Amino acid sequence: MPARKIMIVDNEEGLCRMMEAVLMDDGHAVRSFTNPLEAVELFRPGVWDLVISDIKMPGIDGLEVLQRIKAVEPDIPVIMITAFATVEMSIQALRKGAYDMLTKPFEPDELLFRVRNALTHNELQSENKQLREELAGKFNFDNIIGASMALQKLLDKVEKVAIRDTSVLITGESGTGKELIAQAIHYNSPRKEQPFIAINCGAIPDSVLESELFGHKKGSFTGADSDKEGLLKAADGGTLFLDEIGNLPLNVQKTLLRFLQEQEFRRIGDTESTRVDVRLISATNADLTTDVEKGEFREDLFYRLNVINLHLPPLRERRADIPLLAAHFIAEQNKKFNTSIKGLSAEAQRAASEYSWPGNIRQLRNVIEACITIETGDQIDLSTLAQFIETDAVPTEEDGYNEALGRFEIDYLRQLLRSVDGNIEDAAQKAGMNMATIYRKLKKYGLRKEDILD
């Protein structure tokens, strides 16, 4: 690890030399300034990892040094040194952005302890900043794959919604990418520096869902061995994404409605309310209006959640995006598994574009991964793809290899079924395939058991 660069600002030359020696022995690169004005003038962002400054100095005092340095580089940690630490002075320094206070006289070990803490804090801040930037880049609108008119209209709306702090309900079939859109909203909003917390309401038992969302007090029910903060508290300042919102039980719906109305809630067993600042984004693959009519979902909550509605079209309604998504997933898998698949063959791409994809984008991603796992060529060909999706497409005459493979599969299926008297289950076991694959291949080649066994 490279040496950390530390600036010391103190008009006492002897104290500067002592701190220099201690910190350099610990492996740091140190430069001292006895003139605070010179230090401030020479300070540049990105050069220093830590500043240690005395408070009481001639010319300009340490609080002024702190203020000027923070104006240039807000995230740098600054440790303030004083011989006359008072509560008022400490509060003032901390309000101006100081990381820590060190009172004279101090031992070398105490100096090292404070410095190491500050540097660790700075490293964590840098890592978090880098992670936030990576996440913001990952969920940039340009990185949501697709050029179809349906998707572009949706993204135009998403971009406008992101900057407005209002409730959003995302609707669409399973696998269409509802959480990806929720993340794009969050990471392009003023809340992007704060947490994004996601929960699938359909994956958590009703008995614990209220506790997961709102938290509980110790002893409030059997098994509540300690206080627990819920996900709403964890998302304070940021965004809470409730997927499959239609699965919320009615008692939890009531508590959630109260939170949306008042921005506060009570943990289970608590007598005091907790106030948080959270943006709520919800999603469903069900028709909530039907659930409202049946009395299974509160009408007042539905209107609170559905201030802005974003509907994700299924993949079959954006067929132009299928080749782009397939290429993206192939590149993703190549990088992950160090493979070098160039793409889909012309026949496979045509079959993929014509397929209905009932599992939408999630299914397409999984199929691409499965194809790459078993593909032996440099492209995913039709015969490979046809093992995972139903397709009526047949190889063209130009593709001699695929045509030969098709003839082989037809002959093999005939011999296989004859050897087991047409029993599909026995055929699957004998061939090491699943029954669905055999049925697909029979349909693909137009083969009937009756004709084979004649």
Q: What are the distances in angstroms from CA 274 to CA 175, 212, 224?
A: 35, 15, 19
What does the alpha-carbon distance between residue 228 and residue 270 come to, in Å, rounded to a whole number? 11
φ/ψ (deg, to 5) at 53? -135, 135
Which of 134, 167, 199 corresponds to the end of one domain? 134
Angle between helices 435-444 and 400-419 (to 10 degrees): 120
Element (H, E) at 240: strand 239-243
CATH code, domain with 414:
1.10.10.60
Same domain, yes or no, for 176 and 307?
yes
**Cα angle for residues 159, 162, 167 (degrees, 5° grid):** 130
Q: Are 231 and 240 in contact (CB under 8 A)?
A: yes
Helix axes 13-25, 108-138, angle to 10 degrees: 60
Q: Kindly state whether residues 329 and 195 are assigned to the same domain.
A: no
DSSP string over 407-425:
HHHHHHHHHHHHHTTT-HH
Residues 31 and 154 in one domain: no
pLDDT tens digits in sequence order for the chain, 454 residues long: 567 899 999 999 999 999 999 999 989 999 999 999 999 999 988 889 999 999 888 888 889 999 999 988 888 999 998 877 566 777 778 788 888 888 888 888 989 998 988 888 777 766 655 555 554 455 555 567 777 888 888 888 988 999 888 999 999 999 998 998 999 899 889 998 899 999 998 888 877 888 888 887 777 777 677 778 888 889 999 999 999 999 999 989 998 999 998 888 888 887 788 889 999 999 999 999 999 999 999 999 999 999 999 999 999 998 888 988 999 899 989 988 888 899 998 889 989 999 999 999 999 999 999 999 888 888 999 989 998 998 876 555 445 556 566 777 787 888 888 888 888 888 888 887 778 788 878 877 777 777 777 6
Which three-class secondary structure state does DSSP give residue 359?
coil
CA distance 262 to 276: 10
Provide the residue range defining the domain that includes 210.
Answer: 141-313
Q: Domain check: are 279 and 234 in the same one?
A: yes
Judgement on whether residues 30 and 151 belong to the same structural domain of the protein: no
Cα(423)–Cα(441) distance, integer angstroms: 15
Could you tell me the CATH number of the domain that includes residue 196?
Answer: 3.40.50.300
**Residue 13 CB coordination number (10 Å):** 10
* Together in a domain, 334 and 449: no
Do 306 and 323 share a domain, yes or no? no
Return the pLDDT at 134.
Answer: 52
- At how many degrees (to 10) do helices 149-162 and 178-187 cross? 40
Is residue 200 located within the same domain as residue 117?
no
What pLDDT is stored for residue 120 in this prediction? 84
Give the model's pLDDT for residue 32: 93
Domain CATH number, residue 344: 1.10.8.60
Number of domains in the chain: 4
Instruction: Map tokens 């898998």 to a residue.
Output: 333
Residue tagged 């909550």 (tokens): 301
- Angle 101-67-61 from CA coordinates, rounded to 5°: 70
> CA-based angle 281:174:364, to the nearest 5?
120
3-state helix, strand, coil in the chain (%, to 5): 50, 15, 35
- What per-residue confidence (pLDDT) applies to 131? 55
Do 124 and 165 lie in a common domain?
no
Distance, CA of 28 to CA of 6 (rounded, Å): 7
Residue 145's nearest CA partner among 174, 172, 184 is: 184
Long-range contacts at 94-102 (CB < 8 A, ≥ 24 apart):
96/63, 96/66, 96/67, 96/70, 97/66, 97/67, 97/70, 98/66, 102/52
- Verify that 175 and 303 share a domain, yes or no: yes
Same domain, 68 and 106: yes
CA dist., res. 98 & res. 76, Å (int): 9
Would you say 255 and 265 are in contact if contact means Cβ atoms under 8 Å apart?
Answer: yes
Residue among 347, 346, 351, 344 at smallest CA distance from 368:
344
User: Per the structure block, which two tokens stand in for 9?
Assistant: 């600002």
Out of 134, 157, 180, a domain closes at 134
In 144-298, where does DSSP find H-type helix?
149-162, 178-187, 206-214, 231-234, 250-262, 288-294
Final residue in a domain of this structure, among 109, 134, 159 = 134
Q: Is residue 302 domain-shared with residue 324, that is, in the same domain? A: no
State the alpha helices, DSSP H only, in 338-447: 346-354, 360-374, 382-385, 400-419, 424-431, 435-444
Residue count of the chain, please give it. Answer: 454
Give the Cα separation of 288 and 248 in Å (integer): 12
